[in-house]
Amino acid sequence: MIVARVSRCAVFLLAALSTAPAWSADAEQPAVDPVVLAKIRDAALSSDWAWQRLSDLTDKIGPRLSGSPGAEAAVVQVAAALQAAGLTVTLQPAKVPHWVRGEEQAELVDYPGHPAGLTQHLHLTTLGGSVATPKKGLTAPVLVVHSFDDLKAHAAEAKGRIVLFDNAFDQDLADNGHAMSAYGQAVAYRVQGASAAARVGAVASLIRSVGGADFRLPHTGVMKYEDDAPKIPTAALTAEDAMWVARLAAQGPVSLHLTLTPQTLPDADSHNVLADLPGSDKPDEVVVVSGHLDSWDLAQGAIDDGAGITAAMGAVQVLKSLGLQAHRTIRVVGWMNEENGSGGSKAYFAAAKDKLAQQTAVIESDSGAGKPLGVIASVTLDSLARLSAVSKALQPIGATALERRDGEVGADISPLQDAGVPGFAPMVDTREYFYYHHTAADTLDKIKPENLRRQVATMAVLAYYLAEMPEPLPRVPVKAE
Amino acid sequence: MIVARVSRCAVFLLAALSTAPAWSADAEQPAVDPVVLAKIRDAALSSDWAWQRLSDLTDKIGPRLSGSPGAEAAVVQVAAALQAAGLTVTLQPAKVPHWVRGEEQAELVDYPGHPAGLTQHLHLTTLGGSVATPKKGLTAPVLVVHSFDDLKAHAAEAKGRIVLFDNAFDQDLADNGHAMSAYGQAVAYRVQGASAAARVGAVASLIRSVGGADFRLPHTGVMKYEDDAPKIPTAALTAEDAMWVARLAAQGPVSLHLTLTPQTLPDADSHNVLADLPGSDKPDEVVVVSGHLDSWDLAQGAIDDGAGITAAMGAVQVLKSLGLQAHRTIRVVGWMNEENGSGGSKAYFAAAKDKLAQQTAVIESDSGAGKPLGVIASVTLDSLARLSAVSKALQPIGATALERRDGEVGADISPLQDAGVPGFAPMVDTREYFYYHHTAADTLDKIKPENLRRQVATMAVLAYYLAEMPEPLPRVPVKAE
C-alpha cells in the first residue's frame, strides 16, 4: 500500500533530520520556528471558520458550473468572506465556457425478450461539452465494447450505432490508495470516447459512469471533441444501466432512444478570486494556496471542490487571525472553471508569465476532504528533506506522509508547475472520493468537520512554511516538449 | 448480536437432538430422510434456473407496480416459466389499486442567505398513494420536526406549512441484525406522517427517506390516509436533502415549491400466480412457498422482491427436476400487490378461508437475497426442535440459525398466520437491504448468484420437509383481538 510505504519513508526522514537539518546554515537554528508552526496547526484545529464558508458555499449556493448564476454567486460570496477576513481581494477576469445541461433521457426500445408495449428508462447524465441529439431524440442499435481496443476490433459494426463503452472503474485500485490511477484509466473513455466512436461511424456514444459506488448514480464530467471526428452526442449511464445494457446485448440486438438537449452558449465573463496576505519583506514573492470555485451542476460540489477552496481560504484566514506575516505573500486563489476549460488557470498564468520567478510555490487542494495523510510535493529530489518540519508540525494529526511526485498535482496549478514552480497538494484519504465525484450526491454531509479542520491545518502550516523559509525551494526542471 | 446468539442456540439444539429426536416416534428413524434433504440442497446449489428467472423478471420486465403493464407482464412470464417447469399453474384473480406516479419536483424558493435568482432543486419521490398538489405546485413555508412528539410540540406552527419529518433511519441497528426494527421505527413517518401533519393544518408533508445509505437516493413506499384528516400530498426527500433543509431551517425561514402529480386510477384486475407440485397422498394439504411479483416503479425490484419470488419458484422447480413428490402439495405463490394494498394476499385468503386446515404451512421470502443464515419460524415453542433436520441439511451453507418469532414473518402470508398457520421466512443478511429498498438502485447487480442459489436451497429443503413430515406442525394459537 503506497500510502503506508510513503508514510514510513517520511518517518524515516524525520528521524534522520531531527537533530541536524542539512539544509540549514545553522544546524541548531531551524529555518522556520516550529513553535509558530504548532501554533498555526492548533489554531486551525480549533476554528470552524472554514466549515462555515463551506456551508455557505454548498447549502446556500450549491451548483456552480462556469457561466451559471451559481458560479457568479460563488465569486461574490467568497470574495466577500476573504475581504471580511482582512485580506486584500482582487477579482481576476477569466473567459469561461458556458455549457447548459438540457433534457437527458434514454429508453430501451427493443431487446431480446422485450414484452410488447413496455418502456424501460435508463439512468444517465449528459457529459459536459456534449452536443445535442435531435430535439426528439435518436433511435439506434447499440454496440457494447469494453475498451478502445475492443472498439477497433468491432469497428466494422459501429456504423449508425450508439457505442457503449462498458469499462468498470477499478475501486480495488482506489481502495489501495491509487484512486487517481483508477480515475485516469476510466476517464479516458469519458474524455475521448465520443470522438473514438464517431471516427468509426457511431451516431452517439455512452460510457459507464466513472466511479466506484453502486447506487445508480450517473457521474458527469468534461469530454472533448477531437478535430478529426464528427461531433456526436455523449452521456454517462450509471454503472447499473451500463451492465444492464451489456447483459441484454449479450443475448441479442438492443436498440435505444436517446434524447440529450444540452446547449453551448457564448463564452461567459467570470473571475478568479485572489486574496493576499502580504509578505513582510518579500511581498512580490508569492506562495499560492488554492482550490476551485466552480463545480459540476448536479450537486453542491462539496467534495469537488468546496472543501478545497474553503480549506485554502481557512488556511490563510487562520494565519491572519494569528497576526502572522511571513516573508513572502501568501495568496488564496479561488480558481474559476477547473471543471470544463481551465479558463481561470489560463488567465492567472497569462498575468503571471512575465514575472514567473515571483511565483515561488503553488498549492492546490482538489481531492476532497478525506482525512489528511500528509503532503504531495512535485519538487526536486533534494527538496523533500527540507519539508520535514512541516511533517513534524502535522504529526499530532497523523498527516506525516511526504510523497514526491513528478508532474501535475493540481489541474489549475499545472501551467505554473510546467514552468518549474514547485507544486503541492494535501494528501488525503481518497478511497471514497470517486463514489461521489461529479454526482448528485456530492453534498455537504459527505464531509466530516474535523477532516476539513485538519486540511486547513495542513495547508496553513505548509503555506506559512513555504512563505517563511529563508530561500524558496529550487525550481523543478522543465520537461522537454 | 441477535443473529449470532440465535445461531449458537440452533447449534445447541442440533447437538442435543442429533441422536434422539424427541418428536419422532422412532428415535432411530428420522421423519424425513436426511439423504433426500441433502440431495435437494445440492441440486439447488448447482442450478442457475432461479437466476435465469430473476434475470428475465428484472432485466426484461423491470418495474412491476400493481396495475402497470410491467406487473401484467410479470404474471405472464412467471406463469409460463412455472408451466414449463412442469407445475400445475393457476391464475388467481385479484383486484389491485392502480396508482401512477406523475411529475415530482421541489425547489427551495427562499432561505437565509439565498442569492437572488438562484433555484435549488431538491431530490425527492412521491409516496405511493399520495394525492397530487395543484398542477402548478404549491408554495409554503417549511416546518421541520424530528418525531411525532416534536410535531405535537410545534402543532401551533404547522398551519399552512409543509411539514418535514427529519427522522433518520438507524443503520447501526440494521448493521446489528435488526434491520426490520430500524425499518419499523422509520416507516411510521412514511405511512402515518401525512395524516399527522394534516391534522394540525399542514398543506403537504415530507419525510426523510427510509433507508441507510448516503447516495442521494429517494426511497418510495406506501403511505396511508386516515379518515379523520384531510388528504395532503406527501413525498420522501433523500436523506441529503432532508438534512439540507433542516440545516437551513435552523438558520431562519425556509419555503419551498412542491409539485407532485400522481393519479389514482380505478382498481385494476390482476392475478396471483399459483403453481402446484401435487402431494402424493395428501394432495389437499398445502405448503405455500412464496414471494411477491409486484415491485415499486422506480427500479427493477431485484431485491424487493424479484429474489423472493424466483427463489420460491426455484425451490419447487428443483424438487420437480429431482422427481420428488412429498406427501403434501407444495405450492408456489407469486403474490400480486404486496407493496400497496395486499390485493393478492386478500384474494388468496378469501379463497382459502373455508378450508383453512388445508393450509399447513406458509413460507414467504421478502427480505432480499443477502447470504442466507437460517430460518425464521412463527411456530409454537415446541415446534422449533422439530425443524432441526432442516438446519442440519443446511449446515454446509451455514444457514443453521433457527429463530422463533411471534407474529408476522411476511406481509402476504400474515392473514394465514393470523388464522394460526405456521409461518416461515428464510433468514438472510439484511444489513444492506435498506440501502436499496424502494429505490432506483434495486437492480439485478445487487444480488450475488451464489446467495440466490443458497436461498433456493434453504426454501427447497424447508418446503419439502414441511410437506413430507408425517404430521403437520401444530397451529399457532390465535391472538385475541
Maximal CA-CA distance, chain A: 84
Q: Does A299 contact B216 at a Cβ distance shorter than 8 Å? A: yes
Q: Tell me which residues of B are annotated as active site.
A: 338
pLDDT on residue A6: 32
CA B260 to chain centre: 26
CA distance A399 to A421: 23
DSSP B59: I
Peptide bond into B305 cis (omega under 30): yes
Beta-bridged to residue A235, according to DSSP, are A126, A206
Q: Give the distance from residue A436's alpha carbon to the nearest chain B alpha carbon, in angstroms.
A: 8
Please state, in angstroms and rounded to a whole number, the distance separating the CA atoms of residues B112 and B93.
55
B210: nearest Cα among B343, B304, B346: B304
**What is the pairing mode between strands B328-335 and B282-292?**
parallel
* Phi, psi angle pair for A276, to nearest 5°: -100, 140
Q: In angstroms, what separates the C-alpha of A244 from chain B's closest C-alpha?
A: 7
Place of cell 404486496: B338
Q: Bridge-partner residues for A404, per DSSP?
A: A377
CB-side exposure of A312: number of CA atoms within 13 Å? 31
pLDDT value for A478: 85
- Distance, in angstroms, between B435 CA and closest chain A CA? 9
Whether residue B286 is predicted with pLDDT greater than 90 in this model: the reply is yes
Nearest to B284 by CA among B363, B358, B360, B361: B358
A371: exposed, middle or buried (Cβ count in 10 Å: 0-12, 13-18, 19+): middle
Residues from B in contact with A at Cβ < 8 Å: 55-56, 59-62, 69-70, 73, 76-77, 111-115, 117-118, 120, 123, 213-217, 239-240, 243-244, 247-248, 299, 435-436, 439-441, 443-446
Alpha helix ranges (H) inside A238-306? 239-249
| pLDDT surpasses 70 at B394 | yes
Q: How much is the ipTM here?
A: 0.93
CA distance B147 to B188: 10
**pLDDT exceeds 90 at position B80:** yes
Helix (H, G, I), strand (E, B) or coil at B163: strand
Q: What angle do CA B421, B302, B377 make, to 5 degrees?
A: 25
B288 CA: distance to closest CA in chain A (Å): 29
Look up the CATH number of domain B2-98+266-468.
3.40.630.10
Lookup: cell for A436: 461521489
Q: Where are the alpha helices (DSSP H) in A365-469?
A: 388-394, 414-418, 433-436, 449-468
Sort out which chain B residues have CB atoms less than 8 A from A117's CB and list them: 69
Nearest to A113 among B60, B217, B436 (CB): B60
Report the alpha-carbon distance of residue B185 to residue B187 in Å, rounded.
Answer: 6
Nearest Cα residue in chain B from A242: B445
pLDDT range class, residue B30, cuts 50, 70, 90? confident
Q: Where are the alpha helices (DSSP H) in A176-227?
A: 179-199
Q: Does domain A102-261 have CATH number 2.40.160.40?
A: no
CA distance B257 to B255: 7
pLDDT at residue A212, as a whole number = 94
Question: Which secondary structure element, helix H or strand E, spans residue B234, and what is its range?
Answer: strand B234-237
CB-CB contact of B114 with B258 (8 Å): no
Is the Cα torsion angle A208, A213, A214, A215 positive or negative in sign?
negative
Quick one: which of B221, B238, B24, B41 has its CA closest to B122?
Answer: B238
- Our measurement of the distance from residue A193's CA atom to the centroid of its chain's CA atoms, rounded to an integer in Å, reads 21
For residue B270, pLDDT over 60 is answered with yes
Residue owning grid cell 410535531 = B151
Q: How far is A247 from chain B (nearest CA, A)?
A: 8
Q: What confidence tens digit (pLDDT) does each residue in B212-248 have? A: 999 999 999 999 999 999 999 999 999 999 999 999 9
Q: How far, in Å, CA of B443 to CA of A244, rounded? A: 9
Q: Can you give the pLDDT at residue B204?
A: 98
Q: How many other CB atoms are there within 10 angstroms of residue B211's CB atom?
A: 28
Residues of A in contact with B445 (CB under 8 A): 214, 239-240, 243-244
Evaluate if residue B20 carries a pLDDT over 70. Answer: no
Q: Which CATH class is domain A2-97+266-468?
A: alpha beta
The minimum CA-CA distance between B440 and chain A, rounded to whole Å, is 7
Nearest to A440 among B60, B111, B216 (CB): B216
- The residue length of chain A stands at 481
Residues facing residue B264 across a β-bridge: B99
Per-residue confidence band for B18, with pLDDT thresholds at 50, 70 and 90: very low
**Number of neighbours of residue B36 by Cβ within 10 angstroms:** 18
Q: By C-alpha distance, which of A317, A307, A258 is closest to A432?
A: A307
Amino acid in the structure at residue A432 = E
Q: Closest to A247 (Cβ–Cβ): which among B59, B117, B436? A: B59
Q: Map out the domains of chain A as residue ranges.
A: 2-97+266-468, 102-261
- State which residue of chain A sits closest to B57, comparing Cα positions: A113
> Cβ(A279)–Cβ(A285) under 8 Å?
yes
Q: Are A24 and A388 in contact (CB under 8 A)?
A: no
Cβ–Cβ gap B299/A216 under 8 Å: yes
Quick check: A69 and B247 CB within 8 A?
no
Q: What angle do CA A61, A82, A450 make, to 5 degrees?
A: 70
Per-residue pLDDT at B26: 43
What is the greatest pairwise CA distance in chain B? 84
SS3 of residue B423 by DSSP: strand
Write out residues in chain A with pLDDT < 70, as ranges: 1-29, 480-481
Q: Can B2-98+266-468 and B102-261 be said to share one CATH topology?
A: no
Per-residue pLDDT, B6:
33
**Unique residue bearing C-alpha cell 451492465:** A243
Residue A240 is nearest to which of B239, B435, B443, comparing CB atoms? Answer: B443
Which run of H or E residues covers position A360? strand A359-364
Q: Is B367 exposed, middle or buried (0-12, 13-18, 19+ CB in 10 A)?
A: buried
CB pair distance less than 8 Å for A441 and B240: yes
Q: How many CA atoms lie within 13 A of A369 on its CB side?
A: 32
CA separation (Å) from B340 to A170, A215, B97, B98, B125? 39, 24, 7, 9, 16
> Which residue among A216, A248, A443 places its CB closest to the CB of B240?
A443
Q: How many CB atoms lie within 10 A of CB B384?
A: 18
Angle at the Cα of A388 (from A382 to A392), degrees rounded to 5? Answer: 175
Could you give the CA distance from residue A107 to residue A237 in angstroms, rounded to a whole number?
Answer: 12
pLDDT in tens, A410-436: 999 999 999 999 999 999 999 999 999
Using a CB-CB cut-off of 8 Å, the residues of chain B touching A61 are 115, 118
Instruction: Note the pLDDT tens digit of each residue in B140-186.
Output: 999 999 999 999 999 999 999 999 999 999 999 999 999 999 999 99
Adjacency order of strands within the sheet including A372-378: A88-100, A263-277, A328-335, A282-292, A359-364, A423-428, A372-378, A401-404
Q: Residues with Cβ < 8 Å from A151, sequence gap 6 or more?
A: A145, A158, A163, A165, A196, A197, A200
C-beta atoms surrounding A152 within 10 Å: 12
Chain A CB contacts of B76 under 8 Å are 115
Taking the C-alpha atoms of residue A231 and residue A224, their distance in angstroms, rounded to an integer, is: 9
Distance set, CA A63 to CA A332, A368, A468 (Å):
21, 16, 36
Which among A69, A117, A435 has CB closest to B117?
A: A69
Structure pTM? 0.93
Name the helix (H) or strand (E) containing A89.
strand A88-100
Q: What is the CA radius of gyration of chain A?
A: 24
Nearest to B46 by CA among B35, B38, B57, B54: B38
**Does the distance separating the beta carbons of B73 and A115 come in below 8 Å?**
yes
Residues A54, A321 contacting (CB under 8 angstroms): no
User: From B64, which residue of chain A is nearest by alpha-carbon distance?
Assistant: A118
Which residues, at least 6 apart from A94, have a Cβ–Cβ distance to it below 8 Å?
A: A269, A270, A271, A272, A336, A337, A343, A344, A346, A347, A348
